[in-house]
Amino acid sequence: MQKTNTNYSMETESNENSSGNSSLQSENRMKRFLIALNCLLLALGDTGGPLTSRLYFHHGGRRNWLSSFLETAGFPILLLPLCLNYLQRRRQSRSTPIFLITPRLFLACIGLGLLTGVDDFLYAYGLSFLPVSTAAILLSTHLSFTAFFAFLIVKQRFTFFNINSIALLTTGAALLGLHGSSDRPEGVTDRQYYMGFFLMVATAALYGLVLPLIELTYRKSRREVTYTLVMEMQLVMAASATVFCVVGMAIDKDFQAIPKEAKNFGLGEARYYVVLTWCAIFWQLFFLGTVGVIFCVNTLLAAIIVAVFIPVIEILAVIFLHERISSEKGVALALALWGLASYLYGEHKQAAKEKPPSIDQP
């Protein structure tokens, strides 16, 4: 009888271990799927967003507030995963709240959203005067501003790799500024080109400020930062930025101008609305993919994906928008990629240094 009980106990333990391993494998498969999905979303948004925005201006679009509005107008897409997540939490606990975001976080996200709205307008205004390939290189300088503002706001220390990255990115941007007249779009004057140049640098600077502020918001949230909470924060920020741009559109009378602009659009009236729709979708894929990659892996991978796709944007701009790649732009691109690689390597070394050493089991 005792032997029978012992066998039954061993079989039960074996079944429990098998069930545990199966559950762990299922979780790992789901995590790998989410990582791959978010990387794909980020890649699509990172290339499709700038290209469709420039496509709008390339074929006769002139409404800067409308273009900035499209960068966050796709935020309702976030409601779908949030609703599915709520239903899942509801099955686990009937008392689960609909929203995890606190009133304090909500107000902070509104402020961050308004800054994002300003950043959207600066980007749209600058892109109306610049080739998308030039804009992509200039935007990479946001890492320099991020390092600077992170030092001031969240006390992140400068390293040799940060300083090297700042020097390389600044040199690349200066090279574009000194030799930029050779690649300006048709119909754009020198004055407009340089205005677009400085607006794009201002966009990078403001974006470099927003990122450390978001990190500071996470630290001050006084609660566990989950993927659901991050998506809720992104929803509030995007909605606030969209409302800001809608006010700008109303003041600039964009709503009255849209039907006329659609009729005169270079690709035709129907394709005008197709371009606007895909522009909003691509930009929201970019933001959703960024949030997902940062949560599932880390910020480093998100930055690597954005850096890797800068040359892809350059190539696609040549194919679809017939932009020229001058020798100066080629050198600036190489310096930008070198600066990004230096920054990312420095972040990797810093993360490895801060990681606690593993303890060998006897």
pLDDT tens digit string along 254-269? 999 999 999 999 999 9
pLDDT at 361: 44
Report d(CA 165, CA 336) in Å as an integer: 8
- What is the SS3 assignment for 88-145? HHHHHCCCCCCCCCCHHHHHHHHHHHHHHHHHHHHHHHHHCCCCHHHHHHHHCCHHHH
Count of other CB atoms within 10 angstroms of residue 320 = 14
DSSP state of 184: P
On the 0-12 / 13-18 / 19+ scale of CB atoms within 10 A, 186 is exposed
pLDDT at 18: 56
Report whether 101 contacts 254 (CB < 8 A): no
pLDDT at 13: 52
Question: Averaged over 63-91, what is the pLDDT?
Answer: 90
Question: Averaged over 76-84, what is the pLDDT?
Answer: 87
Q: Please name which of 236, 205, 27 lies closest in space to residue 126, comparing C-alpha atoms.
A: 205
On the 0-12 / 13-18 / 19+ scale of CB atoms within 10 A, 223 is exposed
Phi/psi of residue 6, nearest 5 degrees: -65, -45
**Span 337-349, pLDDT tens digits:** 888 788 778 777 7
**Span 35-72, pLDDT tens digits:** 888 889 989 999 999 999 999 999 999 999 999 999 99
pLDDT at 7: 55
Report d(CA 90, CA 286) in Å as an integer: 29
Report whether 250 contacts 11 (CB < 8 A): no
Report d(CA 199, CA 219) in Å as an integer: 31
Q: Which amino acid is at 20?
A: G
358: left (phi over 0), alpha (psi -120 to 50) or beta: beta
Paired tokens of 152: 């001031």
Paired tokens of 119: 């950043």
- What is the SS3 assignment for 267-305? CCHHHHHHHHHHHHHHHHHHHHHHHHHHHHCCHHHHHHH
Alpha helices (H) in the chain, listed in sequence order: 2-58, 64-70, 79-92, 103-127, 132-139, 142-153, 160-178, 190-219, 227-251, 254-263, 269-296, 299-308, 310-321, 327-354
Measured torsion, CA atoms of residues 60, 62, 68, 69, in degrees rounded to the nearest 10: -90
Report whether 220 contacts 107 (CB < 8 A): no
Paired tokens of 6: 């012992």
Residue 188, CA atoms < 13 Å, CB-side half-sphere: 25
Q: Please name which of 45, 70, 122, 42 lies closest in space to residue 272, comparing C-alpha atoms.
A: 70
**Span 126-159, pLDDT tens digits:** 999 999 888 888 888 887 888 788 888 877 777 7
**Reported pTM:** 0.83
Question: Averaged over 89-99, what is the pLDDT?
Answer: 81
Mean pLDDT, the chain, as a whole number?
83
